[in-house]
Structure 1
């Protein structure tokens, strides 16, 4: 092997190792690799940066925005409400409808986002039916992964393999090319989970118990002991708070006072502002304060700060529920928050939310500010619904578990839901018809979402998972590097040697196994980036159609069922389902083998060799 090949393979191995240990972040690793390929003389600068103009990358970004429009208009949550209404008290019907709903939504928006949306829905329904959440969480993640097999735009690996086909001069896949295989796997997945759920902590805690309604703000107030802690305080002109930011005032550490909202008059009406660390307090503001100790000397605090108490109805700002909310946040096993105290989290500075409660082992913890967090702890955060919704999309070190019923009344663009549905239908119709390129159809969808006010620019940019895009952009040059140095020919030769003189189906089997094994350690997107050129080159080498080979890689990349770290979707349900590593092995390995067997049998029939 030449020095260039050794350099590329060594760099690739280093990337995979970094992905496994997750140090540094995957997008940083991809950028380091991109720079190294240029500095090593393997690629020119235009070759290394070609991924930034790759249509599949732009298409992925556009569908992040369209998916966010479905969330902001409340469509995704309405699907969850419909699910609860239709399932009733029948666990089997619930599981089937849950998997179908998640797979359907996941075929047109981020599967990670869909699963995050449905986790609190599934937890709520599990509580109503008095069943273990473990019986629903893994079916939820499996449906999210299977959704990636349903349409061309369902998951980045599909677009990556399609882009590789186009790059090598072959005709790509259509919008619904994945659908027949995906529907078959979905049907198998539903049937499999109806059997496998018995392995997932299926013990009942009192079958036949009365159905419990979805929790509301008052339930969270009771469970975390918040009653009597809330005050509305008017800021006078002589107050020492005026002109200072909340971050500068340190009210929580000095007085045990959490500012969870700031009311300010604008255009002759009060609006609620997010209490971020940079929020400046002005004279005339009304601050909504959570006193961590109910016996705080309020009169002394108000006198020293020149504040006047104002009346409010209800308890703990429940009369402010249109704007102000609460949410439960779980600490998953891989969270970097473990071992940190609540004061060290910087929740307000990073997310504009205040931690107002902590539950450990089903009990509320008093004086929690200096408690070090443990796996399974649940934090209660308070702030605007907008900040809480943003928290859902940013969860890596935490998982938003429970959203009270009041959030349904606070969807920022609920009235625009018909326009969001019409935009989605129009975008999909354009992609199916081929009237314009797929990426242009997606851009039109984004523009229409904005024109109909289903989403604003700030939300659109926040909705894009930049880490995933940078990962793809940084790893795509490896295909070119392997091609230039002869690395792909070397790998293809190894595959042919392993498969011997067997049929193309033997090659598909070897390709599926290799992709699935690589996917155990790195993301499915990175797996597809690495394996797509190998699949196309293998097909070319044996004189077969590249379509079934490329589809095999896409299906295998999405079949990340075997470990909790194979996909973010699996990691999301690990905590809520109270699973162990071996739960995924026990349930995921047989299903992956089933998917492989069916793929090898069906794909050559759908896409003749």
Structure 2
């Protein structure tokens, strides 16, 4: 063993120990590894930092931008809402929907891309269902990796082993030759991830969730406004037709606060909140805050028909508008004036729907009750108005609801974002453009099309994930350049000897799977596939089951967060530690090993 080999093995061991100890951030450990490699002389300093320019790093950065655009336009929230409607708040049902979806996407496109696109969706689901993201993110990543086993183009190792067989004059694998074995692994993995793995996954949140913001429902309950949001339709002949809410005296005489208008089935974002010059029309649907008894007393006389409030409409409403809790400081010029005199709609574009004095909500009359220092108010209006509400002498912001984080800032660009996303998927699955070009083109289109601002795009880049991937890539180059990788493979294969076919497949599976935890599964397959093919031919075995074993093993990168960019992507959102992947991933690797050893000889006889 050469000194260079000893150095690389020692560096790899130290990095793994630092990862496991969790005392130093993983991205900092990766940077320390880059410095060590640059000083070692095994690779040049330029090669030591070359990972930052690798296509996979650039591609992941662009995917962060695409994912942020899906979040900012509301597409991620809409997808999460659909999954939540189908699966409810039950983790098992959600995973039964989510895991096949990401596996199917990964069968025809980059698993990294599939996970990056679904991360904002899963985060939205977790927030709405009150679940820890750590219960969903790792299963998402593992299902994406398994999805690569389903087709020839699902992952590079599949293409490599097929090309290796073609180069040797053998019949290469077909597009769906991987599917039966991949489906079996996926089915068993889903049972594991939904069952035993649930007890192994952490229930961890990040520090920002230590004191989570209350939702709209909680704030409404605090002001005794629960069940006071109603939808009313203006009948033909109603005295409200053609009038503004102020002219109809809905607040001053009837204590009915109009906060939005739905016209022709579409919520008019431009009329949120309803201002003094907004005129109502027949057949308009009014979204109002009012006491049920008040509505019962006035609806008939005002020509209003109460309508139901389906969950779909409530979700649409919360995408457009919400509430915010504010405090009146002693120096506020609003103190001593009534709500009407405060002209909240004109000052802030928001309507007062609730008042609390001290600990208790109070029944405040719009034109009569004088506001006092220390009063807290619940204001309702569009999210854009809430975001621009400034703290100052007039108001101090106390609480912004959790829904504010999910409200789209570029909702009108959702059709464009969806079109760009579909275009990217078509380009990637058909091969008309390489993955990097397709993703960069989409990310640029998202920014130029206004689906995400440049500032939001920069903020979306997860530096921890990008540095970790870029910092670990040169280590694979150093292992290859020093001969450490070939040393490991040759000695392990020599130990196998001309044993039984199952022993050979077991050894190759373990070798490929272990190497894939620390270097690219593509690089691992390039190295192991020729050795596996030669060994099969020398022992007189059919190469197909041996090469299939190597391909499946290369996709079992479950045991470390650096095993695959997919794992690294979910590291931050799931708030995982290094040991979390080993605890959940190693049993899944062993499960995949057993399935491969049982089914491969049946599908491809030795």
- Listed one character per residue, the Cα deviations across residues 160-189 of structure 1 (whole Å, up to 9, x for unaligned) are 9989999xx999999999877655443333
Number of aligned positions between the proteins = 434
Cα 1:554–1:503 change in 2 (3 A) is: same
After the TM superposition, which residues 529-608 of structure 1 pair with which residues of structure 2 at under 5 Å, given as runs? 529=520, 532-544=522-534, 548=548, 551-558=551-558, 569=570, 590-600=587-597
1:492–1:534 contact (8 Å) kept in structure 2? no
Give the equivalent residue in structure 1 for 2:321: none
How far, CA to CA, are the matches of 1:411 and 1:193 in structure 2? 32
**Which of 425, 437, 440 is the matching residue for 1:428?**
425
Whether 1:314 and 2:381 are equivalent positions in the alignment is no
How far, CA to CA, are the matches of 2:120 and 2:506 in structure 1? 33
How far, CA to CA, are the matches of 2:55 and 2:571 in structure 1? 28
2:560–2:582 contact (8 Å) kept in structure 1? no
Cα 1:490–1:73 change in 2 (3 A) is: same
Cα 1:163–1:53 change in 2 (3 A) is: farther
State the Cα distance separating 1:496 from its structure 2 match. 1.4
How far, CA to CA, are the matches of 1:77 and 1:492 in structure 2? 47
Give the equivalent residue in structure 1 for 2:384: 323
State the Cα distance separating 1:146 from its structure 2 match. 0.8
State the Cα distance separating 1:491 from its structure 2 match. 0.9
Give the equivalent residue in structure 1 for 2:216: 217
Q: Which moved more, 1:5-14 or 1:92-101?
A: 92-101
- Listed one character per residue, the Cα deviations across residues 28-52 of structure 1 (whole Å, up to 9, x for unaligned) are 3222222222322211234334334
Q: Which moved more, 1:63-72 or 1:107-116?
A: 107-116
Gaps of 5+ in 2: 202-213, 227-271, 274-323, 345-350, 355-376, 535-542, 562-566
How far, CA to CA, are the matches of 2:466 and 2:173 in structure 1? 21
After the TM superposition, which residues 138-287 of structure 1 pair with which residues of structure 2 at under 5 Å, given as runs? 138=135, 141-151=138-148, 183-192=183-192, 196=196, 216-220=215-219, 222=221
State the Cα distance separating 1:93 from its structure 2 match. 5.2
Larger Rg computed on CA atoms: 2
Where 1:453 maps in the other structure, the secondary structure is coil
Q: Which moved more, 1:464-473 or 1:108-117?
A: 108-117
TM-score by length of 1: 0.56
Give the equivalent residue in structure 2 for 1:238: none
State the Cα distance separating 1:492 from its structure 2 match. 0.7
How far, CA to CA, are the matches of 1:23 and 1:165 in structure 2? 42
Give the equivalent residue in structure 2 for 1:36: 36
TM-score by length of 2: 0.56
- Listed one character per residue, the Cα deviations across residues 269-293 of structure 1 (whole Å, up to 9, x for unaligned) are 99xxxxxxxxxxxxxxxxx9855xx
Where 1:476 maps in the other structure, the secondary structure is helix
- Listed one character per residue, the Cα deviations across residues 136-163 of structure 1 (whole Å, up to 9, x for unaligned) are 97466424421233259x9xx9679989
Give the equivalent residue in structure 1 for 2:467: 470
State the Cα distance separating 1:599 from its structure 2 match. 4.0
How far, CA to CA, are the matches of 1:324 and 1:442 in structure 2? 33
Q: Which moved more, 1:500-509 or 1:471-480?
A: 500-509
Give the equivalent residue in structure 1 for 2:489: 492
How far, CA to CA, are the matches of 1:5 and 1:165 in structure 2? 31
Where 2:528 maps in the other structure, the secondary structure is helix
Gaps of 5+ in 1: 128-132, 202-214, 228-268, 271-287, 327-347, 349-353, 357-380, 384-402, 576-580
How far, CA to CA, are the matches of 1:447 and 1:173 in structure 2? 36
State the Cα distance separating 1:557 from its structure 2 match. 0.9
How far, CA to CA, are the matches of 2:30 and 2:488 in structure 1? 21
Give the equivalent residue in structure 2 for 1:118: 122
- Listed one character per residue, the Cα deviations across residues 7-28 of structure 1 (whole Å, up to 9, x for unaligned) are 1211221211222223433233
CA-atom RMSD in angstroms = 5.4
Whether 1:9 and 2:13 are equivalent positions in the alignment is no
1:5–1:482 contact (8 Å) kept in structure 2? yes
Where 1:557 maps in the other structure, the secondary structure is coil
2:116–2:569 contact (8 Å) kept in structure 1? yes
1:420–1:449 contact (8 Å) kept in structure 2? yes
